């Protein structure tokens, strides 16, 4: 089986109350690929510039991520700079330099096109549609996006959504996209456009899964020390989509997707423990299963009906 991800490859400058990094490896496709690499063989599609070096490739290769579809373009790699306040849910973007990402037109190699599972990380929705059309044999395609595209390319985004199996968005983005007052109504609207599953990411509060036949909600893994939330959503998506990719013989319904949510949650939780990709670079498989078991325990209560007063 194989998993292709298309998205940004970046250098990030990040400052949080717990430290800072002037230039570290980042980008949605990178965070996704490192997380998904625990589940399947992953191929990254995206552009990098002249400032990309063998050291960055080495990080991906250490997790057996295939970098053959990384396109080397004259210019600078996408650069994002941001600062988080004491409330890590809030961040200010200081600088965005698109660099080689500005003129990026994804061209998938034959093996990338042949992927069993495809993840369209947050890029312009018309590009997502072109990529989706190239991956003719994918049995599961998931998509992320952001408020920018809802603002300036909503029609394209709605079309892109109608062509995928699963949408993974922040709950605020789902409400903005649909104009619905809450996650449930927003997800129902999105399901009516075609996808079989909607994941509403809720940051430190966890994530919810909505399909036509059910609802599931999972808190974030509780952490006393969070150092940098950058990439958490992409690591979540990597764990979630990776888990689906690793189970080709199972029906894609609530059972499978709920377990995928748990793995996504755990990958996201490790992501935020350190800056950028630092924690995932040295993450061990056993740590993942351990934390999933812990997550099952901390969300369990015994359903024991009681005699109530009329």
| Distance between CA atoms of residues 269 and 272, nearest Å | 6
Q: Binding a copy of itself by CB under 8 A: which of 11, 80, 140, 243?
A: 243
What is the maximum alpha-carbon separation in the chain? 74
Q: Binding a copy of itself by CB under 8 A: which of 86, 105, 136, 213?
A: 86
| Distance between CA atoms of residues 60 and 281, nearest Å | 9
Return the number of the residue (53 or 289) whose C-beta is nearest a copy of itself: 289
| Distance between CA atoms of residues 253 and 280, nearest Å | 28
| Distance between CA atoms of residues 161 and 190, nearest Å | 8
Tokens coding 197: 């599953």
| Distance between CA atoms of residues 70 and 56, nearest Å | 11
Which residues in the 249-308 window bind a copy of itself by CB under 8 A?
Answer: 255, 258-259, 261-263, 284-285, 288-289, 292-293, 296, 298-306, 308
Q: How many residues bind a copy of itself (CB under 8 A)?
A: 57
Q: Which stretch binds a copy of itself (CB under 8 A): 27-35, 44-52, 133-141, 221-229?
A: 221-229
CB of 32 to a copy of itself, least distance (A): 15
CB of 87 to a copy of itself, least distance (A): 8
Q: In whole angstroms, how far apart are CA 158 and each of 140, 150, 151, 191? A: 18, 9, 12, 11
Scanning the structure block, which residue is given the tokens 């509780």?
222
Binding to a copy of itself by CB under 8 A, coded x per residue (else -) over 99-128, reads: ------------------------------
Return the number of the residue (74 or 305) whose C-beta is nearest a copy of itself: 305
CB of 219 to a copy of itself, least distance (A): 4
Binding to a copy of itself by CB under 8 A, coded x per residue (else -) over 26-55, reads: -----------xxxx---------------
CB of 199 to a copy of itself, least distance (A): 14
**Do 150 and 173 meet the contact criterion of CB atoms below 8 Å apart?**
yes
Q: Binding a copy of itself by CB under 8 A: which of 204, 253, 273, 278?
A: 204
CB of 110 to a copy of itself, least distance (A): 23
In our burial notation (b when 16+ CB lie closer than 10 A, e otherwise), range 192-209 reads ebebbbbbbbbbeebbbb
Q: Binding a copy of itself by CB under 8 A: which of 153, 188, 193, 273?
A: 188
CB of 202 to a copy of itself, least distance (A): 6
Cα angle 72, 35, 9; round to 5: 25
Sites of contact with a copy of itself (CB under 8 A): 17, 37-40, 64, 86-88, 181-185, 188, 202, 204-206, 208, 214-219, 222-224, 226, 243, 246, 255, 258-259, 261-263, 284-285, 288-289, 292-293, 296, 298-306, 308-310
């Amino acid at each position: 089986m194989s998993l292709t991800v298309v998205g940004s490859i970046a250098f990030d400058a990040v400052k949080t109350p717990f430290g800072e990094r002037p230039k570290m490896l980042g980008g949605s496709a990178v965070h996704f690929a490192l997380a998904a690499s625990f589940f399947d063989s992953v191929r990254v599609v995206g552009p990098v510039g002249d400032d990309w070096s063998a050291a960055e490739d080495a990080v991906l290769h250490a997790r057996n991520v295939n970098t053959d579809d990384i396109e080397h373009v004259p210019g600078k790699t996408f650069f994002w700079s941001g600062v988080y306040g004491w409330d890590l849910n809030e961040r200010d973007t200081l600088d965005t330099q698109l660099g080689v990402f500005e003129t990026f037109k994804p061209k998938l190699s034959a093996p990338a096109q042949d992927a069993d599972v495809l993840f369209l990380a947050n890029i312009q929705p018309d590009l997502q549609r072109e990529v989706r059309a190239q991956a003719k044999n994918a049995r599961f395609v998931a998509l992320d996006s952001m408020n920018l595209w809802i603002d300036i390319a909503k029609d394209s985004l709605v079309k892109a959504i109608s062509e995928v199996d699963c949408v993974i968005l922040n709950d605020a983005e789902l409400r903005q996209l649909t104009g619905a007052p809450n996650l449930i109504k927003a997800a129902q609207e999105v399901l009516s456009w075609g996808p079989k599953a909607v994941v509403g990411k809720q940051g430190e509060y966890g994530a919810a899964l909505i399909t036509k036949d059910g609802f599931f909600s999972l808190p974030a893994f509780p952490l006393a020390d969070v150092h940098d939330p950058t990439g958490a959503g992409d690591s979540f998506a990597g764990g979630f989509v990776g888990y689906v990719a690793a189970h080709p013989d199972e029906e894609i319904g609530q059972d499978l997707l709920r377990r995928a949510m748990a793995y996504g949650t755990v990958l996201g939780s490790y992501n935020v423990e350190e800056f950028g990709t630092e924690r995932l670079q040295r993450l061990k498989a056993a740590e993942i299963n351990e934390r999933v078991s812990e997550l099952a325990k901390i969300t369990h209560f015994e359903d024991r009906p009681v005699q109530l007063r009329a």
